[in-house]
């Protein structure tokens, strides 16, 4: 089945530790995204990548880092510099060439809930 | 991207139509209206989108007013599994910052038995 997988579903870390969240897609999509969601809030964009070996900061990139070495993978590292890392993290992908070519519908993974102890 | 306004919550009886409103009075001529929904603790799911004309797919219908300042998402026969937060998003369809989806707080739709 085609889709986006994120692992693990739940993640706990101690304060001051870096942690990497996995995101893999087999949809052959060029673009991938990372969002953060806090309780009762909408999604906020952390980083996005429109093509392999390229990525751009979103609205709240501070304290996060990403890499895009392969088309199907876009891991997110939450560093110790992120002051409030406890949140629900969502990865998405899209293909800008789909449908009318005007809109790239974003497909989301199931999310990773990170808790910092 | 234009800002949207949605009610915080709505209730609907199972089997009845759910009509979810969205105001986007500052929408520009090249901006589309999109709807996503998010079931608790899952990733958002695309529902439908449109520019001017009404749209229908297997999940829902989208009614956009003639002046495009508001729209309504219609779930024709709501089920308990439709309980979710529904997000109305307005954005440019191509070029520029088309990578970005700006999610507000959305509308929590609760379908009651």
How do residues B9-58 score in pLDDT, each as one tens digit?
999 999 999 999 999 999 988 888 999 999 988 999 989 989 998 999 99
Could you give phi then psi for residue A90, rounded to 5 degrees? Answer: -120, 135
Residues of B in contact with A45 (CB under 8 A): 100-101
Chain B residues lying within 8 Å of A104, measured CB to CB: 98-99
Q: What tokens were used for B82?
A: 């439709």
Statement: residue A11 has pLDDT above 90: yes
Please check whether residue A87 touches B, CB under 8 A: no
pLDDT at residue number B18 = 98
Residue indicated by tokens 């406890």: A86
Rounded Cα distance, B4 and B103, in Å: 9
Instruction: Report the C-alpha gap between A5 and A9 in whole angstroms.
Output: 10
CB contact under 8 A, B44 and A109: no
Q: State yes or no: cis peptide before B7, omega within 30 of 0.
A: no
Tokens of A82: 């992120």
Phi, psi of A114 (to 5 degrees): -100, 130
CA A79 to chain CA centroid, nearest Å: 14
Does residue A67 carry a pLDDT above 80?
Answer: yes
Q: Does A104 touch chain B if contact means CB atoms closer than 8 Å?
A: yes
């Amino acid at each position: 089945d085609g889709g986006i997988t994120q692992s693990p579903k739940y993640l706990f870390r101690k304060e001051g530790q870096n942690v990497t969240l996995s995101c893999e897609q087999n949809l052959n999509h060029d673009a991938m995204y990372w969002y953060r969601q806090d309780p009762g809030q909408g999604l906020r964009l952390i980083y996005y990548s429109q093509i392999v070996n390229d990525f751009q900061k979103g609205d709240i990139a501070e304290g996060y880092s990403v890499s895009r070495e392969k088309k199907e993978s876009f891991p997110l590292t939450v560093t110790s510099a992120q002051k409030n890392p406890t949140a629900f993290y969502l990865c998405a992908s899209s293909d800008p060439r789909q449908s009318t070519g005007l809109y790239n519908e974003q497909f989301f993974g199931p999310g990773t809930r990170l808790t910092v102890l | 991207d234009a800002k949207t306004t949605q009610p915080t919550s709505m209730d609907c009886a199972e089997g009845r139509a759910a009509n979810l409103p969205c105001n986007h009075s500052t929408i520009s001529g090249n901006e589309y209206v999109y709807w996503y929904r998010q079931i608790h603790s899952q990733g958002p799911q695309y529902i439908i989108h449109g520019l001017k004309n009404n749209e229908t797919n297997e999940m829902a219908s989208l009614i956009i007013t003639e002046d495009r300042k508001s729209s309504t998402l219609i779930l024709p026969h709501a089920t308990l599994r439709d309980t979710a937060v529904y997000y109305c998003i307005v954005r440019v369809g191509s070029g520029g910052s088309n990578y970005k989806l700006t999610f507000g707080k959305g509308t929590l739709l609760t379908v009651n038995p």
